[in-house]
Structure 1
Amino acid sequence: MWQRFLIRKNERGLLLRDGDFQGLLTPGQYRLFDPRKRYSLCAWPLEQARFTHPLADYLRRNEAALVAEHFHQFDLGDEEAGLRFEDDILVEILPPGSRTLYWKAAVAQRLERIDLRHDYRVPDALLARLTQAPLRSRPIEGLSAVLNQQVPAFHLGILRVDGQIAALLPPGRAAYWRFNRELSIELIDTRLQTLEVSGQEILTRDKVSLRINLSANWRYDDVELACSRLAKPAEHLYRELQLGLRAAVGTRTLDELLENKRLIDEVVSQHMTSQLEGFGLSVEGIGVKDIVLPGEMKQLLAQVVEAEKAAQANVIRRREETNATRSLLNTAKVMEDNPTALRLKELETLEKLAERIDKISVFGGLDQLLDGLVKIKT
């Protein structure tokens, strides 16, 4: 017949009759005459400061005095965000249009409003708290509403708001409210970069298929101009390098390319200079790394090179033989006119012979030996 209800000090109670709100019970003991068991009690722990009961909207509309006595009403407009503090500690970020109730008896609370109409950048003082949020003993609810981006050194960040470039961000940390707008930050490396164009199969003018690997060094001259005119600057640069390479190789014969290996670099460099003007990009160095010939063409070129080298060796051999014969003729003329020179040549010949003989027996003296070994007809 009687029901007994107990509300503890860290609780508040919602008394319901057939599911309808009857009153709010503070800590204490209650007895109700309820022969039909029509009453029920919903005990709400104050550890949950936010009141999210299905009756919250009903209380706001029909029990204004009760709500003002027991709850904080944190209501935000469509162009406002809120920072909720408990004991001066940031615990929650409230989105625009929020209609929330918080128990006054739970903990000391306050709300800071943020106007989103003019400035959507997070203040530096608040950013320091948001940056260290993972290290706090209590996480901050609603942190996903903040776009928090670290721009590394030697980079720039392109801030886009609703698809339009709004600002260039220097190295450092920046944060923006995501509410009421689409935000994105793209990181751009401003240092010198390398782009490889590999495995390009190109026919020369004389129908020889070449596989060419090319490397280019490039950088941004004007980041905002490049990103405003080109959706993907690196891909545009790659395509232009391909076209320049095909123009350099496809209009020349294999012999022209092999005779001047820097010809491709010069032609591609001129092409890139003319095509990238006004796009905020610059190419600072282009070089062909490899030129790969087909297997049959390699054999033919090897034979040509072998024949050329053999012909060069034959010419050199003939020239040296001619020089040797001319030298002998000059020596003979000197000896013919100078007996002393002839005698010295005889001694030199004798010395060479003596180097190859272990033992020599001389009969008749040195003059007889020389006369017998060397006889030059006058």
Structure 2
Amino acid sequence: MLGVVKTVLVADDERVLLFRDRQFERVLQPGRYRFLKPGSRFSFEVLKLNQVYLAHDQLELLLKKPEFARHVEVRRMQENEVGVVYVEGELHRVLEPGERLVTWKDVSNVDLRVFSLDKLAPIAEPLLSHLLRAGFERTARASRIVHAVVPDGQAGLLFENGRLVQTLAPGRYGYWAYNRDLQVQLYDLRLQMVDVAGQEILTRDRVSLRINLNAVYRLVDVEMVAARLKDAADFIYKRLQLALREVVGTRTLDELLADKNLVSEVIYNDSYETLKGYGIELDRVGVKDIILPGEMKEILNQVVQAQKAAEANLIKRREETAATRSLSNTAKMMEKNAVLMRLKELETLERVVERIDRISVYGGLDSVMNDLVRLTDDRPDRAS
């Protein structure tokens, strides 16, 4: 009897598929089963319940069998849906649109959360963190999630299928990438600088100059910038370059050198409104260098030296004229005032004495005071 009976034990965490003559017959629940004359007519296949996703080579055929289908639960994502599978509260899998999840009905620790793709909505921050941490951001073929971080001082533009749909403030964002093409472009809202360097330009009087210009700007309307410009920095560079050539080419060298701020002011005034129409605010413009050719530099140096020499001569002549005028006025005053004349005589005597080491005086103090220095000629006129 024992030779013709086969005993099958099914544990609580198992299900056994019974096949008769290689045809599925039923699912064996936990318990003890005996089969007579098993021979080659009966075959058994053990499946574990801890296998969250039911997989079998003949799963499609088995699902068509009512005896099998009543033991399992089939959940299929629509083309506009995506599912997130949790097992015992832990993120376990992402179901893509059209994908199917087959589980045993007796398994209660599997939770499926379904999200609609009809509306473009950001993934909630907790779920986004779990998806990124678990490595579900992309598959081997494509991205599941479009993930972007917008730093402080910047703005993000979200495009869906090439169309701008939203402006993103600083923060972290994630969107399901199924059934759509999503892109996030970042724009810096802080002050930025552009250099227009090494510009070789002819002035109106045919002098070649090399000018270096820089400008500071900020983006104030990123949606307008994105709609009207492919490359904002390149556009600003070329606009300033053209403005610089126009300013320098219509003025002489003397005009440019006479007012160093002329170029900056004209370029700023000409470019401000133009850039504003593209969502760009021009903060300031400055000329860093105006470089002259070598020969022209030498000529200008000679001109400057000549000008400075002329100015020095003029100042010297003015001082000499002032000194002569002062002497003339002093002489007139002394001529009318004997006391001033005597003081001048004593001043002259003091200067003379300073230059003499030794003086011999004869005739007393009166002789020194009266005869040593005499600025006027008191002798009687001789008859001619």
Hey, what's the Cα distance between the residues in 1 that align with 2:354 and 2:12?
125
Matching of residue 250 in structure 1 with residue 249 in structure 2? yes
Q: What SS does the corresponding residue of 2:86 show, helix, strand or coil?
A: strand
TM-score (norm. length: structure 2): 0.80
What code does the residue aligned with 1:85 have? Answer: Y
Partner of 2:75: 74
Deviation for aligned residue 1:351: 3.1
Contact 2:263 2:287 in 1 (8 A): yes
What code does the residue aligned with 2:129 have? Answer: T
Hey, what's the Cα distance between the residues in 2 that align with 1:40 and 1:310?
116
Deviation for aligned residue 1:80: 0.7
Matching of residue 323 in structure 1 with residue 322 in structure 2? yes
Contact 1:86 1:107 in 2 (8 A): no
Q: What SS does the corresponding residue of 2:206 show, helix, strand or coil?
A: coil
Deviation for aligned residue 1:303: 1.2
Partner of 1:49: 52
- Rate the CA distance shift 1:90–1:303 in 2: closer, same or farther, 3 A: same
- Structure 1 residue runs without a partner (length 5+): none
Partner of 1:114: 115
What code does the residue aligned with 1:210 have? Answer: L
Deviations 1:324-377 (A, max 9, x none): 122222222222222211211222233334455566554434443354553324
Pairing partner for 1:129 from 127, 130, 143: 127
Q: What SS does the corresponding residue of 1:141 show, helix, strand or coil?
A: coil
Deviation for aligned residue 1:105: 6.6
Contact 2:335 2:341 in 1 (8 A): yes
Deviation for aligned residue 1:55: 4.0
Deviation for aligned residue 1:197: 1.8
Deviation for aligned residue 1:317: 1.3
Residues 333-352 of structure 1: pairs in structure 2 closer than 5 A = 333-352=332-351
What code does the residue aligned with 2:120 have? Answer: Y
What code does the residue aligned with 2:136 have? Answer: E
Contact 2:26 2:68 in 1 (8 A): no
Hey, what's the Cα distance between the residues in 1 that align with 2:360 and 2:47?
135
Hey, what's the Cα distance between the residues in 2 that align with 1:47 and 1:99?
18
- Rate the CA distance shift 1:332–1:9 in 2: closer, same or farther, 3 A: same
Deviation for aligned residue 1:110: 1.9
Hey, what's the Cα distance between the residues in 2 that align with 1:16 and 1:202?
92
Matching of residue 141 in structure 1 with residue 136 in structure 2? yes
Hey, what's the Cα distance between the residues in 2 that align with 1:165 and 1:106?
45
Q: What SS does the corresponding residue of 1:150 show, helix, strand or coil?
A: strand
Partner of 1:167: 166
Partner of 2:97: 96
Contact 2:27 2:67 in 1 (8 A): no
Partner of 2:382: none
Hey, what's the Cα distance between the residues in 2 that align with 1:15 and 1:304?
111
Deviation for aligned residue 1:100: 3.4
Hey, what's the Cα distance between the residues in 2 that align with 1:165 and 1:46?
47
Deviation for aligned residue 1:298: 1.6
- Rate the CA distance shift 1:245–1:103 in 2: closer, same or farther, 3 A: farther
- Rate the CA distance shift 1:215–1:6 in 2: closer, same or farther, 3 A: farther
Hey, what's the Cα distance between the residues in 2 that align with 1:368 and 1:167?
111
Deviation for aligned residue 1:305: 0.7
Q: What SS does the corresponding residue of 2:278 show, helix, strand or coil?
A: coil
- Rate the CA distance shift 1:355–1:7 in 2: closer, same or farther, 3 A: farther
Q: What SS does the corresponding residue of 1:276 show, helix, strand or coil?
A: helix
Partner of 1:210: 209
Partner of 1:241: 240
Hey, what's the Cα distance between the residues in 2 that align with 1:208 and 1:20?
99
Deviations 1:291-342 (A, max 9, x none): 1222222222111111111111111112211221222222222222222112
Contact 1:49 1:107 in 2 (8 A): no
- Rate the CA distance shift 1:358–1:235 in 2: closer, same or farther, 3 A: same
Deviations 1:42-80 (A, max 9, x none): x777665334555444444x44542552x4423111111
Residues 297-376 of structure 1: pairs in structure 2 closer than 5 A = 297-356=296-355, 362-376=361-375
Moved more, 147-156 or 312-321: 147-156
Deviations 1:280-300 (A, max 9, x none): 222122111211222222222
What code does the residue aligned with 2:53 have? Answer: R
- Rate the CA distance shift 1:353–1:145 in 2: closer, same or farther, 3 A: farther
Q: What SS does the corresponding residue of 2:285 show, helix, strand or coil?
A: strand
Partner of 1:223: 222
Hey, what's the Cα distance between the residues in 2 that align with 1:175 and 1:220?
25
Moved more, 248-257 or 360-369: 360-369
Contact 2:243 2:270 in 1 (8 A): yes
What code does the residue aligned with 1:340 have? Answer: V
- Rate the CA distance shift 1:214–1:45 in 2: closer, same or farther, 3 A: farther
Bigger Rg over Cα: 2
Hey, what's the Cα distance between the residues in 2 that align with 1:49 and 1:363?
140
Matching of residue 275 in structure 1 with residue 270 in structure 2? no
Hey, what's the Cα distance between the residues in 2 that align with 1:157 and 1:239?
25
